[in-house]
Amino acid sequence: MRVLIINSTYGGVSGSGRHVQQLVEALRDRVKFELWNINTVGCLDFPKLRSISFYLKCKMKGCPDDIDVIHIHNPKFAGLCREGHVNVLTIHGDYKTELKLKYGRLAKPVILYIDRQVRKANVITTVSPYWAKLRGWRWIPNMIDLRKVEKIPPSAESYILFVGRDDPIKNYPLFRELAKRAYKELGVKSLALGPLKENTEYLKHNRVPWKQVVSYMKSAYALVITSKQEGFPTTILEAWASGCPVVAHNIPPLVALAEECPGSMLLFNNAGGALKALKSLGENYVRENLVKKAREHVKRFDVRVVAEQYYRLYRGLVEVSNEGWRARCNL
């Protein structure tokens, strides 16, 4: 079975890029993958042009005839579905919500275009239980390689962590406000991994490799997620696997995840609620129970478990496609 994977950030720091890399590594003995990413296809290396130039280059590139499944990991690239192939689209969040939050009413024509393109997929999967239920998509969750995480030693430093890009969706300003209050009331410093801002007495900034992120998590006071919109953040899985308590914004996708994995995180509505949750982690029994529950839940999302779900999906779709081809030949 040959599968074409289309993901511009494969192997990079993005959640979808790591997700796809883990999928390929887990199934490489049973599936022959062809990878289309910015390294194999190319793009214009300018912030506003990377995605569109990558998409256009893929559009002009011929799809090999022997490909059984085209698996696209971004709804912006759904127009790359090809007739005569099985097309799978994986959505890592919700493009409608994200585009509206970023661009307001200006996002409407873009959303309408993407809506038309995603209908070309034979199956749409999502990593989020919330968006799966709301949109009628198939839930195949996010994943993590627990064996790799286990081998990484903890950092000697302990912080309240923010992990994510400097983006309105990730709501870094809320974390900055919380970091200031946490330092004043708890005496704990914070570290933002992603945004490169000016350091202060209470908040440092840095960008580090994935292994170092996990190392920080293994010694962290907590991971705080302030996002306005999410799917199933990779950072949550990394924290769960690292024994790092998670304090997360009370948005519907994370509420649904907390219900799917009860006892795995503390939720908050605002900076005051987040600070209260952080204070509660000073009680050993609160921290220990949270970490224990999270370690139990994260086993369900190990790469070997989740990759098997993708393999069964590929195999089932190819079998149905082959049966249809045989039926047409018999007419």
* Domains present along the chain, CATH in parentheses: 2-143+303-330 (3.40.50.2000), 146-301 (3.40.50.2000)
C-alpha–C-alpha distance, residues 254 and 273, integer Å: 16
Q: What pTM does this model have?
A: 0.91
Q: How distant is the alpha carbon of residue 213 from its chain centre? A: 15
Res 331: pLDDT: 40
Res 330: pLDDT: 47
**89-to-36, 77, 313 alpha-carbon distances in Å:** 14, 9, 12
Please list the residues that pair with 5 across neighbouring strands. 35, 71
The stretches in the chain having pLDDT less than 70 are: 322-331
Res 326: pLDDT: 42
**50-to-41, 45, 46, 54 alpha-carbon distances in Å:** 11, 6, 6, 6
